[in-house]
């Protein structure tokens, strides 16, 4: 009987390496594929384990494939990555929004271009090292949080629909991180102790301001208060995000800290306010994606997350045409346009969207205020 073929996206890290190991142990015909996404910078400048698509990463992936006795291929997606991830990242900041490049990379590079390449090569599935799970009930696929709550990555996978879910494998999502490292150690994989990447992969220095400054024309403007009064100058809307306090270059007269509350891409005004001005309950999301069918006008009860490391909070979602209105039960801090908001029911991720307009008509005080 012919084995089912799985192409594993191998970054050279421990998670994707163990994904390949687990799938081979489960009897699949496994092929390793490393994607070349970004070639700027050098390992001397940023360190071996802190740079996207480094020679060291490719060598690690190749060595793992040799140990597992599986084929390894290297494919170039630099053009696609530049267009759909880097340009998206720059365009969002240029519009006064805060992008999430990992979401964009998953959506377009891994689960669009790579998936199509895999199907062209007659693969049955692709697999990655994401900490998430896929369950199947009859003809429906559900996206479930990873077992390790500290590593769960379902937040950046909300665009996956039934067609993609039917072709995906997330083997490491069934285990906690320390078990994944133990699997690698037991199999003598050279990446067992390799550190996890921490920064945006194409900005290994972590200095996104410098990256933006080298590529975009600044849009300087005015700092204004919550009433619209001018209170200072700023070097460009691209250098700020909602909730930011540090590196504002602004000192208040009353000694109270100020935070970025809003960014106006038309006037180039950056609105500064107090902590309580950041607290809001209601906003609009667009570019919606759901794993289930919901009727237009329906209202669903969920727990929602407005950023990767945020806690889930109870909310209701009203589905309108091409958008949804999300209302949290309790005020949330710094709801940020450009960031994904995702919706859960229990441990299942049922969908999400991109945060657009936030209702900032008046600050919403928490119950303890």
Please identify every residue annotated as catalytic: 105, 201
Question: Which residue is listed with tokens 């191998």?
Answer: 10
Which pair of structure tokens corresponds to residue 53?
Answer: 């698509």
By DSSP bridging, strand 140-145 and strand 340-345 are unpaired
Pull the structure tokens for residue 209. 């301001």
Q: Which helix (H) or strand (E) covers residue 230, if one does?
A: strand 230-234
Distance CA 130, CA 136 (A): 18
For 239, which DSSP code? G
**Are 303 and 344 in contact, with CB atoms under 8 Å apart?**
yes
Question: What is the length of the chain?
Answer: 369
9 pairs with which residues across the strands?
33
Rounded Cα distance between 41 and 301, Å, is: 46
The CB density around residue 256, as the number of other CB atoms within 10 Å, is 8
Q: What are phi and psi of 361, to 5 degrees?
A: -60, -35
């Amino acid at each position: 009987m012919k084995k089912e073929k799985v192409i594993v996206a191998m970054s050279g890290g421990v998670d994707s390496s163990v994904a390949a190991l687990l799938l081979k142990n489960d009897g699949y015909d496994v092929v390793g594929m490393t994607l070349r996404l970004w070639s700027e910078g050098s390992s001397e400048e940023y360190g071996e384990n802190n740079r996207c698509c480094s020679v060291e990463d490719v060598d690690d992936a190749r060595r793992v494939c040799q140990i597992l006795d599986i084929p390894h291929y290297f494919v170039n997606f630099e053009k696609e990555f530049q267009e759909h991830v880097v340009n998206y990242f720059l365009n969002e900041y240029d519009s006064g929004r805060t992008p999430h490049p990992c979401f964009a990379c998953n959506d377009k590079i891994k689960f669009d271009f790579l998936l199509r390449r895999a199907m062209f090569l007659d693969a049955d599935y692709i697999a990655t090292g994401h900490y998430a799970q896929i369950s199947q009930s009859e003809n429906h696929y559900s996206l479930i949080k990873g077992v390790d709550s500290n590593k769960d990555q379902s937040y950046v996978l909300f665009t996956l629909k039934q067609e993609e879910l039917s072709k995906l494998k997330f083997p490491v999502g069934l285990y906690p991180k320390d078990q994944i490292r133990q699997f690698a150690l037991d199999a003598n994989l050279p990446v067992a102790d390799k550190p996890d990447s921490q920064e945006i992969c194409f900005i290994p220095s972590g200095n996104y301001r410098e990256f933006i400054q080298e590529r975009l024309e600044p849009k300087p403007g005015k700092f204004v208060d919550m009433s619209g009064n001018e209170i200072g100058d700023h070097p460009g809307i691209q250098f700020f995000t909602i909730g930011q306090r540090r590196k504002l270059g602004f000192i208040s007269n009353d000694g109270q800290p100020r935070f970025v509350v809003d960014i106006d891409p038309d006037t180039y005004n950056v609105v500064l306010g107090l902590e309580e001005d950041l607290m809001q309950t209601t906003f609009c999301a667009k570019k919606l994606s759901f794993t289930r069918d919901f009727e237009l006008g329906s209202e669903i009860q969920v727990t929602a997350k407005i950023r990767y490391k945020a806690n889930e909070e109870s909310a209701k979602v009203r589905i309108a045409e091409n958008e949804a209105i999300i209302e949290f039960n309790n005020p949330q801090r710094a709801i940020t346009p450009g960031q994904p908001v995702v919706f859960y029911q229990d441990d299942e991720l049922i969908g999400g969207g991109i945060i657009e307009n936030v209702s900032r008509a008046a600050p919403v005080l928490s119950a303890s205020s």
